[in-house]
Amino acid sequence: MPVPGPGYSITIRLEAAPSASAAGELASAVGRVGGVLTAFDVVESHSDRIVVDITCNALSANHAQDIQDALVALPDVRVRKVSDRTFLMHLGGKIEVNSKVALRNRDDLSRAYTPGVARVCQAIAANPEDARRLTIKRNTVAVVTDGSAVLGLGNIGPAAALPVMEGKAALFKKFAGVDAWPVCLDTQDTDEIIRAVELIAPGYGGINLEDIAAPRCFEIEARLREKLDIPVFHDDQHGTAIVVVAALRNALRVVGKEIGDCRIVVCGVGAAGSAIIRLLLKQQPGDVVAVDIGGVVHGGRDDLDPNRQWIAANTNKQGLTGDLHKALVGADVFIGVSAPNLFGADQVATMAERSIVFALANPDPEIDPLEAQKHAAVVATGRSDYPNQINNVLAFPGVFRGLLDAHAHRITDDMLVAAANAVADVVDAEKLNASFIVPSVFDPHVASAVAEAVRAVAVRES
């Protein structure tokens, strides 16, 4: 059952009688309808009334209205204004550009801008590699989207995608000191996206593709990697794959199994599932069985695109056919990046002993985690209100920090594997248990460990 969280937080400014019991009555009214009170501030005080800001977490717009109604139903209470704190946070956007140099006088101007800057331009013209030494290219990543697969919202377009891209840029800065900037493209044509990214690439040290729908995202990434001399990384694919593989490594430590002995069912072969399967195959698993909306992916199906044909050819050693429920029988691991509510505890009971279930469809997972826990030994989701959150923030900031520090021109599978191992290793034997298979997203060691692991591989491969 979901609990009200800060993602839907409101502040209600209201007038109430200045009685000794007012605060308690207001707080109780919020609690009675399931709101979670997080702050109570008196903003004005008069002999006949007080004005207070009540801040609380709700579940939805309807729930926020219920809370407001419960407060208004109290005697002598009048609501002045309701503010949605999430919208307040977005007013004017979430990121900005700051100058690193002081511009106090003509002397500063002459060096930061003309005429002095001209000599720096000429140096770069003579030696283009100097762009990494003398410009923002050294630390800057483009967060590129076409707005076609934004969160669980689908194809909402480039402008509506901007708040997510701004958030991503803020995370890059916070966790790894990377200067990332949103690039929201007003096209969903593969060739146009590739051309646009190619045209802006000189100013960036890396390209982070974001929320671009499958299967288009596969071709865009592959062709950009061919064309550009900077790393191109689709976070929905590889960021997810890194964290899933890290979490699986630790989950297997918890249940005492070797990956080489495990059959892993991956449900969903879109952006996330395809990348997870490819990275899993690098770990020499016993077998991987992929499942999509048409059932188990196998060579006998005639509806497979090139991506799923590759998956059919490289997975499912036993030639399984049928649906997800059939694939789960005897499986050691389930990894879902597909759709909500596909199975229940009865199907988990058919899996092998000490099974592992990662139900990552957002916001509603493939199985209710509380149902999964009835039979599985380790359960993870993509949600922040359950333990073991599979969150890409554990990977992408450190990955780009390492790539930028190494002046890398490309990203390789070995770097993804190194990043996954680094995330997993942050959880040492002391901390590891069934409810703690991945580190906290706020663990300051994660990004630096990932960066160092990626940098080391990049330097070795350069």
Beta partners for residue 36, in sequence order:
57
Cβ of residue 274: shortest distance to ligand NAD, in angstroms?
A: 8
C-beta closer to ligand NAD: residue 16 or 243: 243
Which residue's CB atom is positioned nearest to ligand NAD?
270
| Residue 43, φ and ψ in degrees, nearest 5 | -100, -20
Of the candidate residues 169, 201, 241, 361, the single one contacting ligand NAD (CB under 6 A): 361
Known catalytic membership, residue 8: no
Tell me if 337 contacts ligand NAD by CB under 6 A: yes
Tell me if 214 contacts ligand NAD by CB under 6 A: yes
Angle between helices 61-72 and 22-32 (to 10 degrees): 140
Q: Which residue of the set 8, 94, 100, 168 is catalytic?
A: 168
Which tokens hold the place of 287?
Answer: 């077998």
Taking the C-alpha atoms of residue 184 and residue 165, their distance in angstroms, rounded to an integer, is 8
Taking the C-alpha atoms of residue 175 and residue 400, their distance in angstroms, rounded to an integer, is 11
Known catalytic membership, residue 113: yes
Would you say 236 is a known binding-site residue?
yes
Beta partners for residue 357, in sequence order:
334, 379
Stretch of residues binding ligand NAD (CB under 6 A), selected from 28-36, 97-105, 389-397, 410-418: 389-397
Q: Give residues 138-157 in contact with ligand NAD (rule: CB under 6 A).
A: 149, 152
Site string for ligand NAD, 24-63 (x = CB under 6 A): ----------------------------------------
Q: List the 9-16 sheet strands across, edge first.
A: 36-45, 50-57, 9-16, 78-84
Stretch of residues binding ligand NAD (CB under 6 A), selected from 45-53, 77-85, 92-100, 385-393: 385-393
Q: Give residues 69-98 in contact with ligand NAD (rule: CB under 6 A).
A: none
Taking the C-alpha atoms of residue 224 and residue 261, their distance in angstroms, rounded to an integer, is 37
Taking the C-alpha atoms of residue 439 and residue 360, their distance in angstroms, rounded to an integer, is 17
Would you say 210 is a known binding-site residue?
yes
Site string for ligand NAD, 245-274 (x = CB under 6 A): ----------------------xxxxxxx-
Stretch of residues binding ligand NAD (CB under 6 A), selected from 3-11, 67-75, 109-117, 287-295: 287-295
How many other C-beta atoms are found inside a 10 Å radius of the C-beta of residue 288? 24
Phi-psi region of 426 (alpha: psi -120 to 50; beta: other; left: phi over 0): alpha
* 205: nearest Cα among 396, 395, 406, 404: 404
Which tokens hold the place of 69?
Answer: 């109604």
Strands (E), 210-284: 232-234, 263-267
Q: Give the β-pairing of 295-296 and 287-292.
A: antiparallel
SS3 per-residue string spanning 122-183: HHHHHCHHHHHHHCHHHHEEEEEECCCCECCCECCCHHHHHHHHHHHHHHHHHHHCCEEEEE
Cβ of residue 404: shortest distance to ligand NAD, in angstroms?
A: 23
Tell me if 397 contacts ligand NAD by CB under 6 A: no
Of the candidate residues 148, 316, 347, 391, the single one contacting ligand NAD (CB under 6 A): 391
C-beta closer to ligand NAD: residue 56 or 438: 438
Answer whether the bond into residue 340 is a cis peptide, omega within 30°. no
* 353: nearest Cα among 376, 383, 326, 328: 376
C-beta closer to ligand NAD: residue 337 or 351: 337
Amino acid letter for position 65? Q
Cβ of residue 384: shortest distance to ligand NAD, in angstroms?
A: 10
Cβ of residue 146: shortest distance to ligand NAD, in angstroms?
A: 14
C-beta closer to ligand NAD: residue 257 or 308: 308
Would you say 127 is a known binding-site residue?
no
Stretch of residues binding ligand NAD (CB under 6 A), selected from 78-86, 280-288, 332-340, 448-456: 332-340
Site string for ligand NAD, 175-194 (x = CB under 6 A): --------------------
Structural contact between residues 268 and 336, judged by C-beta atoms closer than 8 angstroms: yes
Stretch of residues binding ligand NAD (CB under 6 A), selected from 52-60, 97-105, 258-266, 360-368: 360-368
Cβ of residue 252: shortest distance to ligand NAD, in angstroms?
A: 19
Structural contact between residues 10 and 83, judged by C-beta atoms closer than 8 angstroms: yes
Q: Which residue of the set 113, 174, 227, 374 is catalytic?
A: 113
Binding residues for (S)-malate: 362, 391
Q: Catalytic positions, please?
A: 113, 168
Site of interaction with ligand NAD (CB under 6 A): 149, 152, 214, 236, 240, 267-273, 291-293, 337-339, 342, 360-362, 382, 390-392
Binding residues: 210-211, 236, 362, 391
